[in-house]
C-alpha cells in the first residue's frame, strides 16, 4: 500500500502561513517513509501523460487543491526550464512553462499542470523554502502558487523581507553585520570603531574579541575630535561604527548583557544602517506594525548625533564626514503617534530626548558652516572630507583621474596614492571631490543635476526637509509636549520661535527657489547667484513639507506634474534636464528615465496633504504596478530602482540594480522599495487593488481621468513624439543598431506614446502602450552637444 498523509482535516490551517509554520506543522509536520505498490512515485510521474490534465470547467472550483511534491525531484524538473541559468523562472526563459504535479486526494495518481511563469516561479520559491526547513516531501496548497500577486508580495515583505534585512551590532550578530562588500582594502579582518564617549561599548566589544578569537575582531577607539584627515587616514582600515545598545537580563534572570538596538539595512551590498534609507524603511515598518523596530532605529540616530555629531551617511568609518537628508523629526513623531498611549509620560520623555538630538543636528550640521550659505541663509549639502571616496568600485573615478595621471606621468593607481597622501596639489580635483562628496551626502548619487556643482547648491529638497524640522518642532512643543522642551544646554524652546524660523525659510525659498514662470521649484547656485534649470522631482518635497502655498501646489499639479508622470510613476528628473545620452555621457541612475521609492512616497504624501488625493492614488498605482509587474514576471524580484518609462527593473546604468541577484527565492527585497509597496497599498481603493492584482495597465485604468487633465494640443503632442523618435534613432545609430552596449532607453519609432523595450502586461504580452495624454511638450532649446574628444572632463 501507499503511505500518504491524511489531508482531510486541515480546514482551519492557514495556507499562507509563514514558511516556518507551513513547512513544519500540519501536513508537513514530519517526514514519511513512502512505499509504492501500484502507482509510480511523483518523481517519475512526468514520464506518464495518461493521467495529466489541466483543470477545466467541470472541475470543482470550490475545492482547495493540494499537491504531493517530491522537493528535490520537482526542483530539478523546474530548473530544466531555467534556460538562461540564473536559478530563476522569468519571462526571459523559453520553453513550455508547464509542469505537472500529483494531487494529494488521489495519492499522487491524478496529475494537474502548473502553467505560466508566475505559478512556476512561485513553485520554485516554495520548494526552496521547504528545503530551508529540511523537507524532502511536502503537501503543497495550490493557493500558495496562484495567490494574488499583491497579497503574496505584501505578505512576503511583512513576514520575510523585513526579517531578512534586520541587523544589530552585538556579540551574536557581528559575523552578519561586519562583512562589507565595498571593502577593497587588504585589511579584511573585522574592525569596530567605538566613540570616546561610550566606554561601556568599548569594554563590551573588547570582551567579545577575547571570548571569540575566531572572529579576529579588532576594537579601536575613535579620537575625541574626528577630522577629515583622520578619516582619510583609516580608509585603508575601514570598519564598522558602533550604534546604540541596551542592557537586558540573561536567561538566568540575574545577570545582564548588552544587545544592540536593531535596524534595517537597504539590502545587497549595503550591509549597514543608512541615513535616509532608514526613514523610508521605517514608514513601511510602521504600516506593518513593527513599531519597536522603527523606534530602535530612531534610537540609533540619536546615538549617532551624540557621538559622531551627525546622522551618518551610514555607519562605516569612511562615512564619518558625511551626513544624509535629515528626516529625524518626522520619523520620531510618526513613532511617537504609535506608542502605547497608556505610557504617556514615558513617551513624552522619549520624544523630548530625541528632539533634543534633532535640534543639535539642526544647529551644528545644517545651520552651520560649511553647509549654511551666509547670503541666502539656505542650506546646502557640503560635507568635509579629504581624498578619494574608498567605497566605490575600483575603476569608478578612472575617467576623472586619467588626465591628472598623464599630467604627472604616472599610472592611475600611483596617482591615487600621491593624491590621497597630499603629495600632489590639484585644486581642480579637490573641487571635483568636494562636489562628489556633496552628491553622496544628498543621497542622489549620481545625477547630472549635481554634476560638479552640488556643494554650491541650496537645494529644494534639503531646505524643504529643514522647513519640516522647524514646523515639526513647533507642533511638537505645542501639541505633544505641553509646551515644555529644552535643548541640551537647558535652554527653553518655544513654538513661536520655531514657527518664525519656518516662515523665514519659506520666504527665502520663495525668493531663491520658486520660479513663477515655470511654476516649479529649482535649486539655487549660491556661487553663481542664479537658479539652476534642472527640473527635479524633489520639487514636490515642498508639498510633503507643507512649505508651498495652496496656489503654488495647484500650479505645480496643473503645469509641472505632467513633466514627471510616466507609465510607472515619477521620473527623478525630466528628459530635457538630463540632456542627450552618448557613449561618453551615459545615463545616471538619479536621472530620467529612472524612478526611486523616496520620490514616489514624498509625492503621494505631498499631494494628499493639499487635498489632491486622486493624484496621490494615481501615482501610487503607477509605482505599485511597476513593482508588481516585475514581481510577477521575474521570480519575485524587488529591486533598488526602476526604469519607470518602460516600467522595468532591467536597467543599464552605473552600479547596476541591487536586489536582483538571488537564487530561487527573494529573501530581502530592498528596504525602501518594500516600504513603498506597503505604504502605497494604503492609498489604493478596492477597485485599484483588484486592478493591480491583474497588472492592469495604469493608462487604461486612468484613461478618463487623464483625458480630463490633458493639456497638450495635437501639434504639441506630435512635436514631442518627433523628438522622442529622433532620440531613439540617434541611440540606435550610436550603438550600431544595438550591437554596441550602451546605457539608453529604447523608444519604439512607430509608437504614438511611450516606447517600451518589453511588453507591459504579463497577462497580455502583445499589448502596446496607449499615448500618454500628459506627455510634455518638445523642448525648443535642446541641450548643447557633449564635449569633443580630448577635452578635459572639467571643461
Residues with Cβ within 8 Å of residue 176, at least 6 apart in sequence: 167
Indicate left, alpha or beta for 565 from its phi (over 0: left) and psi (-120 to 50: alpha). Answer: beta
Per DSSP, the three-state class of 199 is helix
147 labelled catalytic: no
Helix (H) / strand (E) containing 139: strand 137-141
Q: Which three cell numbers stand for residue 791?
A: 577635452
Residues with Cβ within 8 Å of residue 707, at least 6 apart in sequence: 773
Report DSSP state, residue 194. E
For the four alpha carbons of 650, 654, 657 and 663, in that order, the dihedral sign comes to positive
Measured CA to CA in angstroms, residue 95 lies from 78, 80, 92, 229 at distances of 11, 9, 10, 58
Residues with Cβ within 8 Å of residue 27, at least 6 apart in sequence: 5, 7, 10, 13, 66, 104, 138, 139
How many CA within 13 A on the CB side of residue 6? 4
CA separation for the pair 483, 17 (Å, rounded): 47
CA separation for the pair 451, 138 (Å, rounded): 55
Selected catalytic residue, list 445, 575, 608, 699: 445
445 labelled catalytic: yes
Helix (H) / strand (E) containing 52: strand 52-53
Which one, of 381, 545, 364, 540, lies nearest residue 458 by Cα?
A: 381
CA separation for the pair 635, 457 (Å, rounded): 42
- Cell 551626502, located at residue: 441
To the nearest 5 percent, what fractions of the chain are helix, strand and coil? 45, 10, 45
CA separation for the pair 149, 502 (Å, rounded): 44
Measured CA to CA in angstroms, residue 254 lies from 40, 171, 249, 251, 366 at distances of 59, 19, 7, 8, 45
Selected catalytic residue, list 142, 565, 640, 668: 640
Measured CA to CA in angstroms, residue 326 lies from 65, 547, 679 at distances of 51, 16, 20
Say if CB 663 and CB 129 are below 8 A apart.
no
CA separation for the pair 96, 121 (Å, rounded): 13
End-to-end CA distance of the chain: 82
Task: Find the length of the chain.
Answer: 795
How many of the other CB atoms lie within 10 Å of CB of 738?
Answer: 11
Q: Which residues are catalytic?
A: 445, 640
Amino acid at each position: 500500500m501507499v503511505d500518504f498523509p491524511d489531508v482531510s482535516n486541515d480546514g482551519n490551517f492557514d495556507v499562507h502561513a509563514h514558511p516556518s509554520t507551513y513547512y513544519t506543522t500540519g501536513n508537513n509536520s514530519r517526514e514519511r517513509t513512502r512505499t509504492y505498490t501500484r502507482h509510480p512515485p511523483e518523481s517519475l510521474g512526468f514520464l506518464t501523460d495518461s493521467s495529466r490534465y489541466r483543470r477545466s470547467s467541470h472541475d470543482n472550483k470550490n475545492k482547495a487543491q493540494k499537491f504531493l511534491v517530491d522537493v528535490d525531484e520537482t526542483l530539478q524538473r523546474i530548473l530544466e526550464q531555467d534556460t538562461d541559468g540564473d536559478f530563476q523562472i522569468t519571462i526571459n526563459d523559453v520553453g513550455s512553462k508547464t509542469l505537472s504535479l500529483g494531487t494529494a486526494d488521489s495519492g499522487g495518481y491524478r496529475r494537474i499542470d502548473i502553467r505560466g511563469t508566475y505559478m512556476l516561479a512561485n513553485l520554485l520559491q516554495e520548494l526552496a523554502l521547504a528545503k530551508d526547513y529540511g523537507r524532502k516531501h511536502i503537501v503543497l496548497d495550490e493557493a500558495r502558487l496562484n495567490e494574488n500577486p499583491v497579497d503574496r508580495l505584501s505578505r512576503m515583505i511583512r513576514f520575510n523581507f523585513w526579517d531578512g534585512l534586520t541587523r544589530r551590532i552585538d556579540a551574536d550578530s557581528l559575523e552578519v553585520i561586519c562583512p562589507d562588500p565595498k571593502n577593497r582594502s587588504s585589511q579584511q579582518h573585522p574592525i569596530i570603531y567605538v566613540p570616546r564617549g561610550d566606554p561601556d561599548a568599548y569594554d563590551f566589544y573588547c570582551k567579545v574579541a577575547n571570548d571569540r578569537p575566531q572572529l579576529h575582531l579588532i576594537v579601536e577607539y575613535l579620537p575625541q575630535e574626528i577630522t577629515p584627515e583622520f578619516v582619510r587616514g583609516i580608509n585603508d582600515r575601514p570598519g564598522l561604527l558602533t550604534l546604540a545598545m541596551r542592557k537586558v537580563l540573561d536567561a538566568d534572570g540575574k545577570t545582564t548583557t548588552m544587545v544592540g538596538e536593531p535596524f534595517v539595512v537597504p539590502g545587497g551590498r549595503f550591509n549597514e544602517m543608512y541615513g535616509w534609507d532608514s526613514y523610508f524603511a521605517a514608514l513601511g515598518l510602521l504600516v506593518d506594525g513593527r513599531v519597536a523596530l522603527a523606534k530602535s532605529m530612531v534610537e540609533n540616530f540619536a546615538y549617532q548625533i551624540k557621538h559622531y555629531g551627525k546622522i551618518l551617511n551610514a555607519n562605516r568609518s569612511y562615512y564619518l564626514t558625511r551626513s544624509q537628508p535629515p528626516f529625524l523629526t518626522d520619523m520620531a513623531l510618526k513613532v511617537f503617534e504609535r506608542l502605547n498611549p497608556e505610557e504617556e509620560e514615558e513617551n513624552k520623555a522619549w520624544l523630548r530626548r530625541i528632539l533634543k538630538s534633532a535640534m543639535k543636528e539642526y544647529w551644528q550640521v545644517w545651520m552651520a558652516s560649511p553647509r549654511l550659505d551666509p547670503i541666502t541663509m539656505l542650506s546646502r549639502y557640503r560635507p568635509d572630507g579629504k581624498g578619494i571616496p574608498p567605497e566605490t568600485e575600483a575603476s569608478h573615478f578612472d575617467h576623472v583621474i586619467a588626465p591628472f595621471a598623464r599630467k604627472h606621468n604616472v599610472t592611475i593607481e600611483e596617482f591615487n596614492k600621491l593624491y590621497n597622501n597630499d603629495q600632489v596639489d590639484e585644486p581642480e580635483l579637490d573641487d571635483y571631490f568636494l562636489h562628489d562628496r556633496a552628491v553622496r551626502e544628498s543621497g542622489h548619487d549620481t545625477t547630472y543635476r549635481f554634476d560638479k556643482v552640488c556643494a554650491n547648491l541650496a537645494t529644494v529638497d534639503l531646505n524643504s526637509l529643514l522647513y519640516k524640522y522647524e514646523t515639526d518642532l513647533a507642533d511638537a512643543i505645542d501639541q505633544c509636549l505641553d509646551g515644555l522642551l529644552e535643548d541640551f544646554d537647558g535652554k527653553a524652546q518655544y513654538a513661536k520661535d520655531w514657527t518664525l524660523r519656518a516662515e523665514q525659510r519659506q520666504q527665502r525659498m520663495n525668493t531663491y527657489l520658486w520660479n513663477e514662470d515655470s511654476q516649479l521649484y529649482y535649486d539655487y547656485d549660491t556661487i553663481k547667484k542664479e537658479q539652476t534649470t534642472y527640473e527635479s522631482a524633489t520639487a514636490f518635497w515642498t508639498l510633503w513639507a507643507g512649505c508651498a502655498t495652496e496656489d503654488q501646489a495647484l500650479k505645480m499639479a496643473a503645469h509641472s506634474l505632467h513633466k514627471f508622470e510616466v507609465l510607472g510613476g515619477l521620473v527623478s528628473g525630466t528628459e530635457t534636464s538630463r540632456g542627450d545620452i552618448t557613449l561618453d555621457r551615459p545615463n545616471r541612475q538619479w536621472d530620467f528615465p529612472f524612478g526611486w521609492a523616496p520620490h514616489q512616497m514624498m509625492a503621494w504624501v505631498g499631494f494628499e496633504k493639499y487635498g489632491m488625493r486622486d493624484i496621490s492614488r494615481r501615482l501610487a498605482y503607477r509605482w505599485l504596478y511597476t513593482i508588481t509587474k516585475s514581481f510577477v514576471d521575474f521570480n519575485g524580484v524587488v529591486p533598488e530602482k526602476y526604469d519607470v518609462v518602460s516600467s522595468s527593473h532591467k536597467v543599464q546604468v552605473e552600479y547596476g540594480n541591487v536586489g536582483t541577484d538571488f537564487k530561487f527565492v527573494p529573501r530581502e527585497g530592498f528596504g525602501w522599495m518594500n516600504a513603498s509597496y506597503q505604504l502605497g497599498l494604503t492609498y489604493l481603493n478596492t477597485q485599484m487593488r483588484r486592478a493591480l492584482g491583474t497588472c492592469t495597465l495604469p493608462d487604461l485604468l486612468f484613461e478618463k481621468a487623464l483625458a480630463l487633465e490633458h493639456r497638450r494640443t495635437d501639434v504639441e503632442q506630435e512635436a514631442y513624439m518627433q523628438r522622442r523618435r529622433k532620440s531613439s534613432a540617434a541611440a540606435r545609430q550610436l550603438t550600431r543598431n544595438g550591437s554596441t552596449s550602451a546605457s539608453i532607453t529604447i523608444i519604439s519609432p512607430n509608437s504614438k506614446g511611450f516606447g517600451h523595450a518589453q511588453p507591459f502586461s504579463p497577462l497580455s504580452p502583445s499589448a502596446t502602450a496607449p499615448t500618454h495624454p500628459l506627455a510634455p511638450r518638445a523642448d525648443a532649446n535642446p541641450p548643447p552637444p557633449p564635449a569633443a574628444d580630448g577635452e578635459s572632463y572639467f571643461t
